[in-house]
Chains A and B, each alone.
Chain A
């Protein structure tokens, strides 16, 4: 199988869906000739023209609203917000409009829009360009939240998100764009709302998503050398969450560690831990524990940033403690 990067995989997903369905159009800041801040829309304007790959002014609220309006008229807009931090400017349209319209209209209208953006830290971009805000969107009924971890699932999940008739917030991690991986030449789709069992194991379940999946896998490799057999789940979709896969794994291993890059307090792992506590308590051999970022704005200095974000060492230490 050929190897391509995460950005190339996303680019292919957009291109294939634009060829397949003329209702699909892209809108965002610098997505034209510039190809987007992370190169995901590279060359698409040459192929599809500036009406379907619409370079927009710096107007996040406006372009989110345009996506909503166009989606109401049966189009399939895919909006790019350059950084997830900038989605905060567009929150009315995402939270009050896109997410609510179907419910408020009693099912008359639908909003098949994809809000693509990226998140996460690790690049020294400081507090306004490094956030992990996925939980804001998971909290909102009516939104689907997807966070791929590899070129393979990035492509399959983005294609499914574009075809999905609901509003989808699709969050890519900025450190994953250059990551390479196997992606088939032939077309495939991956279902939304389904987690992926990345590695089977019997001693403890790691639940993770996005870039942290790779950190979790690295930790699992090292732990294997010490005789701890870790099961690793990549959630892929955070909302709706695939509880079935989580519960099956926890019932098998009896232990669970959530690994996420957002802040720990009220972070996504809290939801996972609480669900396991509510519905799987009898199977637990230890309390669910959480590895997450420190409850601070992401700092600039490398030493501070790496201290704030989760890493392999912390995962290993916590796992050993849980297994002792």
Chain B
């Protein structure tokens, strides 16, 4: 009995010591901050801007390029030695809405960010939006495409890309037009992103007179044989999947293994990552088509601004710009321009965002009052020789 009590006492003592230690640290921290902030309260020399998204989670491939793009802007901006520097604070939500809300609160209350890039995905955006709205922190997402996000009457929320009700029909028009598919099988992953996108594709295909068959799958699973069997039975000309690349790669592989060889495979922006090719295997992925409201600079691009961005990106990250890198760059540029114009508080920055009209790398950046960007181009990409290549705008692209 005695040794046990002694040990318990020891544990307690250690615990108390630790708590005290932590408390001491905490005190030190809070003491230091007001002192620092107080001296420069009139004109802060550094402001914090957050980047929130799935940085290490299962779909990080879609979020790391815009993070890199944004970082590029702030690094360039800080190098010009401005009066107010920017510190980019990263919030890794892993795409999980519940984590995102906690992180948003941390960003607002502890870190006192003046603006937020992201959240990257639609699901987390839906949850974080009201929190940012209440705290009056402006945000610009470089990749959340759910249409409903713009219908909440949020004043501080923006996105630098067209939504799913533009993306879905854009892809559907391409499927029904240049691809001339009459029998299309549309699958979604039941997520806040995948389902509405697939529904938009379904709706538009129906107006074009194509026969549409539906099913959905659970991306947490790995065996899609029930869906795959249905697809094989319906012998479609084209298949559309609304979901992220991890599931898309898997689905594509299982479809091709099942003998569904000739049907064209389409997906949306969530699948525009080389993870699609890794997951499906290079041979299976060859020829797969992906629509995206994003613009990825191709090596043969001549526009000086786009080329300059692509070169700087490659120099910094030794990789070609990928999905939403240009959008991340543009979103961050908006914040950088706001600071250059002397706006350092969240409400001033937000007012500036409302008036912005600048030539970005991906598009002309100008926001409507509901936060949507005014440019509405959708691009079509295709897997060629194991890499993703740009075919062109959905309205102009031809199958090569």
Q: Do A and B bind each other?
A: no
Binding site for B on A (CB under 8 A): none
Binding site for A on B (CB under 8 A): none
